[in-house]
Structure 1
Amino acid sequence: MRSQLMPDLDKESLEAMSGPVVDRRTTISLLGAAGMGGLAGCSGGGGGDSGGDGGTTSGTTQSGPKMGGRLQAGWFTGSIDTLDPPYISVGQYFQVAANIFNGLVTLTTDLTIEGDLAKDWTISDGGKKFTFDLREGVTFHNGTEFTADDVKYTINRTIENKTPAAGKLSTLEPVDQGGVVVKDDYTVELNFEKAMAPALVYLTRGPGRAATIVCKEAIEEMGREQYSITPVGTGPFEVVEHDVGSGIKLDAYEDYFDTDSEDRQLPYLDGIDINPIPEPATLVSAIRGGDVDFTNLVPLQNVSQVEQASEVEKLRAPGVNWYGLAMNQTREPFGDKEVRRGIAKVVSSEKFVQSAYFGNALAAQGPINKATRWAWREDKPDDQAYAPEEGKQILKDTGAYGASFDILTTSSSLRAAKAMRQQLNAAGFDVSIEQVTASTYWSRYQALDYDVTISGSVGDPDPDQSLWNFYRKDGSWNWTSYEDDTVHQLLAEQRRALDRDQRAKVLQKLEDRLIADVPHVYLSHRDDLAAARKRVRGFEHVPYMRNFHTVWLDE
């Protein structure tokens, strides 16, 4: 029905959304339509904020940024398995990939949408047609020129291969039937089935976004498997070495197209050496001791150690995520909703947050996080509320009391797994921990080769991003094998309800259903914490992004 859809945008609105820059006020409106209003309300402004809890590291000196030097970065993971954007389902992997690739547009720390590979754009046909004027003279790292054909190839590849990012373009017309039209080498047109005001947000560079531009020539030459390890993009850094499990060496791309406000060539750094460090204590010791300059995450149990280090700054951005105990419904006894509800009742999220993270997280009642303020509610259904005696009785009634099972985990999540095991064993279960490498973990998780694990949505400012792929019947991250017709329908409905208040009501109804069905025992919402030595300057902290093109080192 027409009343359920967004009306055609008026001329003034279309002009406000057109390029080359969309101002903060208009961007916040787009974020609200996209379901990202919480991010708009919680992010600090950009610019020279130097605080440890601020959005950026310290700004420039009078002499300006210094050129050269290599940033030593510690990555809180055992390995970085893929860097091919549409196939990335792990936020930490995209934090690396964002330095190798570009999108059509980008979102800055102060919520301004700016051109990236698109230098300008116009919106017409009532908000259904987006025409992008592309930068000329941009090359991929292999020397191939970037053109509009690469945009069409990227979008078609994303959709055709049913990648996790494909859902962002679900309302695009079929690519070869007018969805993507190459007008000339530097003009490309995207046509949607109906008005799509949030399209610009979904076309920014970021995890789970749909138009991070890849190189067709490189993919065809090296094959998808090798491209996932040593991809070719247009970004400020190129991959020169990638030994999966050991590290990644990125060098500055000499022909990168972008410059700073003083027309100095970006990036400032000569390169970045990224070292996977899965042990929390080792990671924190490395940043405190100066072995690394930057850590992409701070293990929550080690926050105080970072705060107390004299030469280290804690970097904080809003936590747009949820984490929970995922239960594999293809294995007994987790296919029974009552068993899952009984487990939820014997687990205290408050105790979990204290034990696993020393209180450095918000206990969760459901998947919608507090940063998404327009959809957040303090008063949520109590289906998963801590009630241990009631939970034990449910488990006894279902015959699941005393069951034996394993928690699958990696070293980076070991403390959380131990905290969960403690609560479950105290409730009468016989629970063990199975610790594996990061690559083995993700392989087994996706193959439903586990009993339970602690997982969730990382860095998704839009509730759609954190729910659609997890709970759709065909969701690309539905690794609990959860299926529910009502949830499936509500997920589709909330995408059509582009009025924010209406969408909030649908999302809350959806959240109620998920809390009751318990595909996950919802445990926590974490802030996005990183850390840098004070010599690291110019880092701009967009939530869950780790972009280094403006970073420089103050020796």
Structure 2
Amino acid sequence: MTVSDDPQGFTDEELSGPRIDRRTTMKLLAAAGVTGLAGCAGGDGNGGSGGDTETGETETEETQNEETQTESGSSTGGRLNAGWFTGSIDVLDPPYISVGQYFQIAANVFNGLVTLNEDLTVRGDLATDWTVADGGTSMTFQLREGVTFHNGDDFTADDVRYTIARTISQEAPAASKLSTLRPLDEDGVVVEDDYTVTLNFEQAMAPALIYLTRGPGRAATIVSQGAIEEMGEEAYRTEPVGTGPFMVSEHELGSSLTLEANPDYFETDDEGTQLPYVDGVDVRPIPEAATLVNALRSGDIDFANLIPLQNLDRIEETDSTTASVAPGVNWYGLSMNQTRDIFSSREARLGIAKVIDNEQFIETAYFGNALSARGPINRATNWVYREDKPDDQTYDPEEGQRLIEEAGIAGESFSILVAQGDTRAAQAMRQQLNAAGFEVEIEQVTSSTYWERYETLDYDTTIAGSVGDPDPDQSLYNFYRLPDEGGVWNWTDFRDEQVHSLLDEQRRALDRDERRDLLHQLEDRLIQQVPHAYLVHQNDIAAYTDAVSNFTHIPFMRDLSRVMVDR
């Protein structure tokens, strides 16, 4: 079936650029599982202009650094002091980012071929126009001329091909978004000329435009071949070179990250003022929630990228701070490492899931500020979300204890691995598991050590999940495919052939009703097989002081190019 044959599908004309109207974008987002975000993108109401941009003459350094006024009267210039709720920002190389908070930084350093406006319409980013042909299997992009990378290299179509080829050949986590692209040696990516590139797919893939936007887990966030070859892959991981509004000027892991405004950035606002508005951003990793909130309330930082739900009340009760809330596109669960004997059987994992009271966990860990998760598909993806999920993991302590006894794991000892400063949820979990007869300890390590141990299965349990993935495919595919066949984030060593097959089938289903049915089958199987004991869905909360204006909150994104600071 081609896109054009799909009664809920698209014509080539509807998908072509330079802008896609809101109705078509909503259909695209539905196909990609993002419909729940529609109408929820705004944060504080200030918002960015979200308009088209034109490439004009580059302002001189004196003009760029001079404080200017917008029509609203707000000043541009100055520096934004930002706190990031993490111990360190370890990776900024887009296709290798597996931590959503890292991409919140990277999205300010890089651009995609296309991007989303505040109202979720698709518009060009590094592409100024595009044409979709052959029933959605071919997309030709006209690229923006005169764009340079931060190191001064010209951006051309060769960089698009290099970015995609690198992502695929190195089997980076983001490569899964391009699984239907033709092989590169079979015209998968064709450089027509310096500023024209064509992507050819094996089968129609209308959501490809969503996957080509600048955002978490996207596969075509354009990197600099010249910089990678000059710096080397390792250095590029932490001090990358992009085309975005900000340049990485200094990065001390675990201590500070300094971003400077790109003086040659191509984008302007509706009034013709060059972006970004601020001269730079000074980012400080802050792993302790209380320290982060106190720094914001005292004015030591202007902006916090993420406020833990249990700290929301402290922000709301402070006159000088504002919380910006967007729907959470995530799930969190108790990850049980199945290479450990204690968690190797379904009965053992299910028994543990059933002795966990999600509602009590939410009250203790998040002061009630979260939704109970009965499965991995979140409420924001409302076209596929349902209330009537299987009750296999529903709280039932008597049945849970029976399964635990049957599995022979009663009274066992194990640990919960946590990152530095992120212990509250683990403490709440330990309390419940100890009450169920286990001997549970909390093992606290630095953020870097945490991710290294989690990825290498060097842990017993941890509380983790999918963060910032609005498409159900993004929330499931990399987590639950077989570890050596696409499950790049399968860090529980979960192996189930039925789940593996269903993940492939739902990708090929262009009809939304068919895909919904497959996703329901998939979620049913996951709930029953218990790779995770599903716990919560969290809202996405950022916060800022009265010195900050013009922050536009698209769920899980932190676009700082239009933020203004007045102090």
The equivalent residue for 2:386 is 377
Distance 1:427 1:7 in 2: 55
Q: Secondary structure at the match of 2:259?
A: strand
Which stretch of structure 1 is more off in the superposition, 173-182 or 431-440?
A: 173-182
Contact 2:288–2:422 (CA<8 Å) still a contact in 1?
no
CA displacement, residues 397-426 of structure 1 (integer Å, 9 cap, x when unaligned)? 111010000000013420000000000000
Of 543, 550, 554, which residue of structure 2 is paired with 1:542?
554
Report 1:303-452 matches (<5 A).
Answer: 303-452=312-461
Distance 1:61 1:118 in 2: 27
Contact 1:380–1:512 (CA<8 Å) still a contact in 2?
yes
Distance 1:65 1:195 in 2: 46
Contact 1:43–1:109 (CA<8 Å) still a contact in 2?
no
Of 95, 104, 109, which residue of structure 1 is paired with 2:118?
109
Q: Offset of 1:44 from its aligned partner?
A: 4.2
Contact 2:275–2:561 (CA<8 Å) still a contact in 1?
yes
The equivalent residue for 1:29 is 27
Distance 1:133 1:6 in 2: 22
Of 485, 507, 510, which residue of structure 2 is paired with 1:495?
507
Q: Any gaps of 5 or more consecutive residues in structure 1?
A: none
Code of the aligned partner of 2:45: D
The equivalent residue for 2:170 is 161
Report 1:211-360 matches (<5 A).
Answer: 211-360=220-369
Report 1:144-159 matches (<5 A).
Answer: 144-159=153-168
The equivalent residue for 1:49 is 45
Distance 1:453 1:343 in 2: 13
Distance 1:509 1:410 in 2: 34
Contact 2:331–2:538 (CA<8 Å) still a contact in 1?
yes
Code of the aligned partner of 1:271: G
The equivalent residue for 2:187 is 178
CA displacement, residues 15-71 of structure 1 (integer Å, 9 cap, x when unaligned)? 12111111111100001111222223x52458x715xxxx779xx974544221000
Following TM superposition, the consecutive aligned residue runs of length 4 or more in structure 1 with deviations greater than 6 angstroms are: 9-12
Count of residues in correspondence between the two structures: 544
Distance 1:128 1:66 in 2: 46
The equivalent residue for 2:481 is 472
- RMSD of the TM alignment (CA)? 1.6
The equivalent residue for 1:39 is 37
Code of the aligned partner of 1:440: T
Distance 2:429 2:150 in 1: 45
Code of the aligned partner of 1:483: R
Distance 1:21 1:111 in 2: 11
Q: Is residue 125 from structure 1 mapped to residue 134 from structure 2 by the alignment? A: yes
CA displacement, residues 187-230 of structure 1 (integer Å, 9 cap, x when unaligned)? 00000111111111010001110000000011011111100111
Contact 2:36–2:381 (CA<8 Å) still a contact in 1?
yes
Q: Offset of 1:13 from its aligned partner?
A: 2.4
Q: Secondary structure at the match of 1:354?
A: helix
The equivalent residue for 2:17 is 19
The equivalent residue for 2:520 is 508
Code of the aligned partner of 1:35: G
Contact 1:101–1:234 (CA<8 Å) still a contact in 2?
yes
Code of the aligned partner of 1:540: T
Q: Secondary structure at the match of 1:285?
A: helix
Q: Offset of 1:504 from its aligned partner?
A: 0.9
Distance 1:465 1:63 in 2: 39
Code of the aligned partner of 2:422: S
Contact 2:41–2:553 (CA<8 Å) still a contact in 1?
no
Contact 1:56–1:541 (CA<8 Å) still a contact in 2?
no
TM-aligned CA distance change 1:507 to 1:12, over 3 Å: closer
Q: Any gaps of 5 or more consecutive residues in structure 2?
A: 50-68
Q: Offset of 1:14 from its aligned partner?
A: 1.7
Which stretch of structure 1 is more off in the superposition, 197-206 or 496-505?
A: 496-505
Q: Offset of 1:8 from its aligned partner?
A: 4.7
Contact 1:9–1:127 (CA<8 Å) still a contact in 2?
no
